[in-house]
Amino acid sequence: MIKAIIIDDEPLAREVVKEYLQSFPDVQVLQECNDGFEGLKAIQQHQPDILFLDIQMPKINGFEMLELVEELPAVIFTTAFEEHAIRAFEVNAIDYLLKPFSKDRFEKALQKWLNSRSAATATTAAAPQQTAQLLETASASMPTQSNRIVVKINGKIKIIPVQDVHYLEAADDYVKIITQEGAFLKNKTMAFFEQTLDPQQFARVHRSYMLNVNQVTRIEPYEKENHLAILRTGAKVPVSKNGYPRLKAALGL
Amino acid sequence: MVVTTYIAVLVYGVLLIQWFHLSPATAWVDSAVHILLLSAKVSMITQNLAYYRPARGKYIFVLSYSTVLSAIWLAITYWLLKYIFPHDKAYIEWLNAAVPVHFIVAWLVITAMAVKALVWYDIAEQREEGQRREASERLSREAELYKLRQQLQPHFLFNSLNSINALIAIRPQQAREMVLKLSDFLRGTLKREDQQWIPLPEELQYLQWYLDIEKVRFGHRLSTEVTSTPESEVLQMPPMLLQPVVENAIKFGLYDTTDAITITIKAWQQDDMLFVQVQNPYDSALQQPNRGTGFGLSSIRRRLYLLFARHDLLETSSDQLIFTTLIKVPQTYDKSHNN
């Protein structure tokens, strides 16, 4: 049996997917979700093999939801987004279906995935990796991504507006996001944030640090060739030799 | 220019004969030499200004230029007249005495004409720039409107078609209703492109189609209330003004919250104006400060300004849960055309 979850905020859009899935008795829809919050819960609960996922949804969009999923299942996007917007990550997509899509088109997408899945056991790991790649490219092309960061804390989703972020600190496989309300962890790399955050507002001042330039009150020399940025909160963020010109550029100095 | 020069030669000649008692022959030659050369200098400086006006310090430029020209003019006329009348001692003496007066008069004339030309060219340039700005504004306005329509259509249209696709299998009758509503809505969009004013009930009907389609898409999550007072039904408004407001309301209402929402639209008459209020629930925590006037609202504000030259016709307010948009439409249309 193949476990599937449908996530779309339009009930009728979910109906189409369910109807088309009737030709695939192996595929069982375990749950239908109205938004990313429900979707995330359902994914944790059921550990599905495949998601049918809309992009534009309430509160958090499809990409933001996937960022919070630890074990990525295979994903088929169903969206009304214009083709050119989606072309950016076309190469990495398992598949995407432009609404409205035909039954043939749907079956082709699903069959492609089913074939690759049964063809080799080695490629089963390829699907989540593909999805992860897709996410990296997609988040860079989604403008809404850059003005907020979605994190998960104690199983709950929290949306942090980027202006509330004081600085980011690398911590092993995670990035620590330091805000007024405390620190949050996100399973991402510094390079990811460097790509998605507005470079006018966030400067990579150190291999392990990125800071919100609006929070900086002063910069002090520190040891030889290094500096310390003092934030409004009093926090001290190390600035490396390479990071210093970047900070100055972001501050307009 | 030619006529002015001719008259000036006559007047100056007569003046020289009558006032300074020069012999007519001397007077006419003197007048002709002075005035013709002066006229040449004036046309020279005005022609030059047509092609070259320094961006900074143009008055200083004109003053120094006219001073130089006056000096040249004085030198040429002086030496020329001396050369023509080498033996008329009384005249040469008079010419010597008149040097400062000649210079001052020439300087005043050249400067005055140059400044006049300068001002004239500046005004012409400003007028041209004004026309250009107006033309470019009109173009960008049209482009803006076109963009607005284009933005609305594809996403809405494809999602609606997707809903119809689903309904055909499960509830064919409702699929047919949806097709009809979508057609009415799209026909309304096409029809109203060139209309300046439309009656309020027509605009509300149009919105109702739009909202009905959205209700089918989002099912029980969306409900709407559209009301208007009886006296407001004779009022008119520019088309496509409410559409982006309602779209915003749906966007923030449906995408900021996961609950069921109600969007209310109310229209009434007050102070000879049409008031339309749109309210939607929203999540204040999700919205950044200053986000209240998003793209949709700022373009409405701009359109209201272009139509009525007033900045106070769009108001927005919000408390923790409800976002309110209020549009005021002055009834300035030409009523004779509408009946």
Q: Report chain B's mean pLDDT, rounded to a whole number.
A: 85
Look at residue B212 and tell me whether its pLDDT is greater than 80. Answer: yes
Q: How confident is the model at residue A56 (pLDDT cuts 50, 70, 90)?
A: confident
B308 vs A99 pLDDT, higher one: A99
Chain A residues touching residue B283 (CB < 8 angstroms): 59
pLDDT of residue A14: 95
CA distance B190 to chain A (A): 22
pLDDT of residue A145: 46
Q: What is the pLDDT of residues A83-92, one digit of tens each?
A: 545 544 543 4
Look at residue A94 and tell me whether its pLDDT is greater than 60. Answer: yes
pLDDT of residue A61: 82
Q: What is the pLDDT of residues B105-136, one digit of tens each?
A: 999 999 999 999 889 988 988 898 888 878 77
Look at residue B43 and tell me whether its pLDDT is greater than 80. Answer: yes
Cα–Cα distance, B213 to B158 (Å, whole number): 12
Crossing angle of helices B89-170 and B200-218, in 10° steps, is: 50
Distances (CA, A) of A21 to A35, A107, A183, B292: 20, 8, 43, 42
Instruction: Name the DSSP class of B46.
Output: H
Look at residue B258 and tell me whether its pLDDT is greater than 80. Answer: no
Please report the sign of the dihedral spanned by the C-alpha atoms of residue A48, residue A49, residue A50, residue A56.
positive
Crossing angle of helices B24-51 and B89-170, in 10° steps, is: 20
CA distance A101 to chain B (A): 8
Tell me the Ramachandran region of residue A225: left when phi exceeds 0, alpha when psi lies from -120 to 50, beta otherwise: left
- The residue length of chain B stands at 339
pLDDT of residue A84: 47
From A35, which residue of chain B is nearest by alpha-carbon distance?
B258
The string of DSSP codes covering B59-106 is: HHHHHHHHHHHHHHHHHHHHHHHHHH-SS-HHHHHHHHHHHHHHHHHH
Nearest by CB to B258, from A16, A56, A59: name it.
A59
Q: What's phi and psi for B112, nearest 5 deg? A: -60, -45
Nearest to A46, CA basis, from A93, A7, A11, A95: A7
Cα–Cα distance, A163 to A50 (Å, whole number): 35
pLDDT of residue B339: 41
Other beta carbons less than 10 A from residue A140's beta carbon: 15
Q: How confident is the model at residue B187 (pLDDT cuts 50, 70, 90)?
A: confident
Residues of the domain holding B236: 196-338
B264 sits in which H/E element: strand B261-270
Q: Is B208 on the interface with A (CB under 8 A)?
A: no
Domain A2-144, classified CATH 3.10.105.10, yes or no: no
Cα–Cα distance, A122 to B272 (Å, whole number): 74
Nearest by CB to A35, from B161, B217, B258: name it.
B258
Cis peptide before A11 (omega within 30 of 0): no
Contact B154 A58 (CB under 8 A): no
User: Which of B134, B151, B180 corresponds to the end of one domain?
Assistant: B134
* DSSP reduced 3-state for B286: coil
Q: Report chain A's mean pLDDT, rounded to a whole number.
A: 84
Tell me the Ramachandran region of residue A59: left when phi exceeds 0, alpha when psi lies from -120 to 50, beta otherwise: left
User: Counting Cβ atoms within 10 Å, is residue B249 exposed (0-12), middle (13-18) or buried (19+)?
Assistant: buried
Chain B residues touching residue A38 (CB < 8 angstroms): 258
What is the b/e burial string over B6-34, where b = at least 16 CB atoms within 10 angstroms of the residue's CB?
eebbeebbeebbeeeebeeebbbbbbebb
Cα–Cα distance, A220 to A230 (Å, whole number): 8
Nearest by CB to A80, from B162, B169, B283: name it.
B162
Is residue B153 in a domain?
A: no
Is residue B223 in a domain?
A: yes
Task: Check whether residue B107 and residue B10 sit in a common domain.
Answer: yes
pLDDT of residue B290: 42
Is residue B141 in a domain?
A: no
Q: How confident is the model at residue B291 (pLDDT cuts 50, 70, 90)?
A: very low
Is residue B185 in a domain?
A: no
* DSSP reduced 3-state for B256: helix
Mutate to test the interface with B, among A12, A16, A98 (most CBs of B within 10 A): A12
Chain B residues touching residue A20 (CB < 8 angstroms): none
Q: What is the pLDDT of residues B234-246, one digit of tens each?
A: 999 988 788 888 8
Query: What fold is seen in the domain A160-251?
Result: OB fold (Dihydrolipoamide Acetyltransferase, E2P) (2.40.50)
Task: Check whether residue B333 and residue B201 sit in a common domain.
Answer: yes
Q: Is A201 on the interface with B (CB under 8 A)?
A: no
Task: Check whether residue B114 and residue B232 sit in a common domain.
Answer: no
User: Which of B134, B158, B173 corresponds to the end of one domain?
Assistant: B134
Cα–Cα distance, B241 to B133 (Å, whole number): 24
Mutate to test the interface with A, among B164, B165, B179 (most CBs of A within 10 A): B165
Task: Check whether residue B217 and residue B327 sit in a common domain.
Answer: yes
CA distance A25 to chain B (A): 19
From A9, which residue of chain B is nearest by alpha-carbon distance?
B218
pLDDT of residue B243: 82
Look at residue B147 and tell me whether its pLDDT is greater than 90. Answer: no
Q: Is B290 on the interface with A (CB under 8 A)?
A: no
Name A74's Cβ contacts closer than 8 Å, sequence gap at least 6.
A49, A50, A51, A94, A113, A117, A127, A128, A131
The answer to whether B48 and B92 are in contact (CB under 8 A) is: no
Nearest by CB to A19, from B169, B218, B258: name it.
B169
Flag the least confident range among A91-100, A176-185, A186-195, A224-233.
A91-100
Other beta carbons less than 10 A from residue A147's beta carbon: 15
Task: Check whether residue B13 and residue B121 sit in a common domain.
Answer: yes
Nearest to A6, CA basis, from A39, A49, A40: A39
Contact A100 B158 (CB under 8 A): yes
pLDDT of residue A166: 94
CA distance B325 to chain A (A): 21
- In chain A, where do the E strands start and end? 2-7, 27-33, 50-53, 74-79, 95-98, 148-153, 156-161, 165-171, 174-179, 182-186, 202-206, 209-212, 216-222, 226-231, 236-239
Task: Check whether residue B21 and residue B126 sit in a common domain.
Answer: yes
pLDDT of residue A90: 45
pLDDT of residue B279: 93
pLDDT of residue B304: 82
Mutate to test the interface with B, among A10, A181, A198 (most CBs of B within 10 A): A10
Cα–Cα distance, B210 to B195 (Å, whole number): 19
User: Which of B134, B158, B181 corresponds to the end of one domain?
Assistant: B134
Look at residue B287 and tell me whether its pLDDT is greater than 60. Answer: no
Look at residue A119 and tell me whether its pLDDT is greater than 50. Answer: yes
Q: What is the pLDDT of residues A3-45, one digit of tens each?
A: 999 999 999 999 999 999 999 999 999 999 999 999 999 999 9
The size of the A-B interface in CB pairs under 8 A is 73
Q: How confident is the model at residue B20 (pLDDT cuts 50, 70, 90)?
A: confident
Look at residue A194 and tell me whether its pLDDT is greater than 70. Answer: yes
Is residue B327 in a domain?
A: yes
Nearest to A65, CA basis, from A52, A80, A81: A52
Q: How confident is the model at residue A66 (pLDDT cuts 50, 70, 90)?
A: confident
Look at residue B196 and tell me whether its pLDDT is greater than 80. Answer: no
What's the whole-number mean pLDDT along residues A196-214? 90
* DSSP reduced 3-state for A51: strand
CA distance A99 to chain B (A): 6
Percent of chain B with pLDDT over 70: 89
Contact B170 A58 (CB under 8 A): no
Cα–Cα distance, A170 to A110 (Å, whole number): 38
What's the whole-number mean pLDDT along residues B198-205? 91
* DSSP reduced 3-state for B306: helix
Where do the domains of chain A lie? 2-144, 160-251
Q: Which of A232-236, B90-94, B154-158 has the highest mean pLDDT?
A: A232-236
Nearest to A62, CA basis, from A52, A54, A70: A54
B144 sits in which H/E element: helix B89-170
Specify the pTM. 0.65
Name A103's Cβ contacts closer than 8 Å, sequence gap at least 6.
A20, A23
Tell me the Ramachandran region of residue B34: left when phi exceeds 0, alpha when psi lies from -120 to 50, beta otherwise: alpha
Crossing angle of helices B172-191 and B200-218, in 10° steps, is: 140
The string of DSSP codes covering A228-247 is: EEEETTS-EEEE-TTHHHHH
Is residue B188 in a domain?
A: no
Other beta carbons less than 10 A from residue A19's beta carbon: 16
Q: How confident is the model at residue A75 (pLDDT cuts 50, 70, 90)?
A: confident
Q: Is B175 on the interface with A (CB under 8 A)?
A: no
Q: Is A12 on the interface with B (CB under 8 A)?
A: yes
Look at residue B299 and tell me whether its pLDDT is greater than 80. Answer: no
Contact A161 B288 (CB under 8 A): yes
What's the whole-number mean pLDDT along residues A222-245? 90
Look at residue A122 and tell me whether its pLDDT is greater than 70. Answer: no
Structurally, chain B folds into a number of domains equal to 2
Percent of chain A with pLDDT over 70: 85
Chain A residues touching residue B218 (CB < 8 angstroms): 9-11
Nearest by CB to B162, from A13, A82, A159: name it.
A13
Residue with tokens 């100056």: B12
* DSSP reduced 3-state for A101: coil
Look at residue B289 and tell me whether its pLDDT is greater than 50. Answer: no
